[in-house]
A and B are shown apart, each in its own frame.
Chain A
Amino acid sequence: MKRQFLLILILIVIHGAAMASNADSALVEHTSLARLPMLEAMRNPALHGMGYQTPYSQLAIGIDLQHQNQAFVPEKGSGYTLPYLKVNTFHPLNGRSTVWGEASYMTGKVHDIRWNSTSDYDLLQPYILADTLGGDTRRERYSVSGGYATSIKKWLLGAEMHVRAEQEYRSHDPRMRGIVTDLILRVGGGYDLGHYHLGAAVEGNIYKQTNSVAFYREEGVIPEYQMTGLGTEYSRFSGDKRSLYYDGGGVAVMLHASPISKSGPYADVTLDEHRYHRKLAEFNSMPLTDHYNEHVGATIGWKQEKNHRLAVFGHADYIRRTGNEHVGGTSDARYFPVIACLTMYKGHILDTYAGALYGRGNWNANITAGYREVSEEYVYPHRQMDASHVYGKLQGQCFIRPEDKWLLTVDAHASYYAKAGDKLNMPLANMDATFTRLIQHKHKYATANYTDFGAKVRADYAMNQSRYGLFAEAGGGMTLCSASEHQTALHCSIGITF
């Protein structure tokens, strides 16, 4: 199946290459797969400003749909319907300065969330509020970002800010509500060494979420659990403590070295630490848990951009996750002093891959193969859940110009994740049946094999005598899971470019 798919892709590419002229439009520069090796460096705002030669702006209205016939991760739901409106721009001002920005609005529905009454699950898990009932939620997100970069002699300077405000809620019992504000500030610098750009950036993040669950039914409530990892919950404050807030944030340091000529070795290193504190809204803001994510990522590669575009690279990400529980003391006077803090949750994620990128003319292909390992442990009573996968990914992209005013962009991808190892150790005899089912479900999907494939086509039309253009894009994909379930995803958008 893989060989056939590869053959088809290559045939499309050859055909397209025969029809396409050298498409060096702004769209190509901003969306080409060939920019993959520089994406990490472009997180540094000083280098981001140098990242593209051409200005590009786009206003898009679109919709993302996803459906899983059984939720792979119950806490994230079985799919979503998320329409959005987004405008983004990248604008070199003169030879030295650049501004860029983006604003977007998204509103929609997430389907069938279970065991999670908190927003931003990926960020805050396992320390979330959860119940056994769940349901659909409505989501609304406002996001604004902007940046500026300039060069002064050999120095590059840049700054960038991202603000996200989001709310998620449910209008029937259990009525969860999560209101998120997330601010990221990034400041970066770079130095032109002649052959190389060296870059360094720091990032600061401030995060807040207020989270609550209400019940309006006269019959009463169901328990809301303060989850503490791998099916455990903070019993004393579970049940009817349904109002929380999270605060936290983090810092990151990014270092980059990339060749100015766009040919030569390159390297990126990122170090960051984020921490999130969960606190009860009552009892004098009693802290419950602290969650720390420490991440180190490194990429080393070599690239060449002449007649052929070629890059080979290796990348590794390691995230160490630590969770501390605050031990509440006596409840006299209705506030609970913290008498101890114990590290009860430990985990790590390791993702390493090697890859190669090749492109010529109007097409590019990227292949990677890697190993990913996720490990979680609850210290006492001991619980452990590990899963590791080896994977291979293939991406292809082709720009086709059937006529002068038209540009077609075709993207396709396929990947396969094969389970390499797993471990599950749970105190089944002491677990409530509902929690046991949750863990077994999560383990089933964490250790399954996944086959994923998809494609996207975008058509751009340049309007006469104008810098404006219209575009339409549609794409879809499918993920097949060896646990006999599957996921389908659809995306479409229309808009204007200018």
Chain B
Amino acid sequence: MLFTACAPVEDDIFTTARITVTAEGDVSITSVQAQVKLTNVNTRQVTTVADFNGTSATVELLRGAYQIDIEGVATCLSPDNVTRMRQFRCQSDYVEFISHDINEVTLKTIFLD
């Protein structure tokens, strides 16, 4: 206790990340069913989440930098109100989740069909 002020201690090592999937152009995504794989760039540890609320999934993980891979099915609404399910993929090689608050990231879909 005598040295509490001496050694810097950062015990707040976890944070919350919210990953949102969006499409380019005039297609809008209404819901997503997918598995998100987050790989910590420094530790190589993998965290997965598949619980999407609409187009967003929220996960608690270690603060740091991540590579994100998402693969699944998105319910898409075209400008002429046609709903269609499409297989998609999202990827980012580097995203920082270091804030102590919620970290938001939006990834663009790559449709596979």
Contacts and interface: CB of A to CB of B under 8 A. Distances in A.
- A and B associate: yes
Interface in A331-350: 339-344
A379 B8 CA distance: 16
B45 A381 contact: yes
A343 B43 contact: no
Contacts of B2: 271, 294, 296
Contact of A292 (B6, B41, B62): B6
B3 A340 contact: no
B44 A342 contact: no
B13 A344 contact: yes
B63 interface: yes
Nearest to A328: B42
A273 B96 contact: no
A486 interface: no
A379 B65 contact: no
Contacts of B80: none
B65 A235 contact: no
Interface stretch (A179-187, A319-327, A357-365): A319-327
Contacts of B9: 322, 324, 343
A275 interface: yes
Interface string A190-227: 00000000000000000000000000000000000000
A484 interface: no
A320 B65 CA distance: 29
Contact of A324 (B3, B10, B43, B44): B10
A340 B6 contact: no
A342 B3 contact: no
Contact of A327 (B7, B44, B45, B98): B98
B10 A342 contact: yes
Nearest to B43: A235
A236 B8 contact: no
B64 interface: yes
B13 A380 contact: yes
A255 to B, nearest CB: 13
B98 A235 contact: no
A234 interface: yes
B94 interface: yes
A343 B42 contact: no
B65 to A, nearest CB: 6
Contacts, number: 70
Nearest to B95: A330
Nearest to A288: B42
B101 interface: no
A271 B9 CA distance: 19
Interface residues of B, number: 22
The secondary-structure label for the interface of chain A is strand
A234 B43 contact: yes
B11 interface: yes
The secondary-structure label for the interface of chain B is loop
Given A340-B63, A340-B64, A340-B98, A275 B7 contact: yes
A329 interface: yes
A234 B44 CA distance: 9
Contacts of A341: 8, 10
A234 B6 contact: no
A342 B62 contact: yes
A292 B43 contact: no
B11 A236 contact: no
A408 B13 CA distance: 61
Contacts of A296: 2-3
A343 B94 contact: no
Nearest to B14: A380
A206 B46 CA distance: 39
B32 to A, nearest CB: 27
Contacts of A342: 10, 13, 62-64
Interface string A343-384: 110000000000000000000000000000000000111000
A430 to B, nearest CB: 8
B37 to A, nearest CB: 16
A484 to B, nearest CB: 37
Nearest to A251: B6
A294 B44 CA distance: 31
A163 B8 CA distance: 28
B96 A294 contact: no
A293 to B, nearest CB: 9
Given A339-B96, A344-B13, A273 B6 contact: yes
Interface of B: 2-3, 6-11, 13-14, 41-45, 62-65, 94, 96, 98
Given A273-B6, A273-B7, A324-B9, 16 more contacts: A235-B42, A235-B43, A236-B44, A273-B3, A320-B3, A322-B7, A322-B9, A325-B42, A327-B42, A327-B64, A327-B98, A328-B65, A329-B65, A342-B62, A342-B64, A381-B45
For the complex of A and B, 8 pairs with smallest distance between CB atoms:
A292-B7, A294-B3, A235-B44, A236-B42, A342-B13, A340-B98, A327-B64, A322-B7
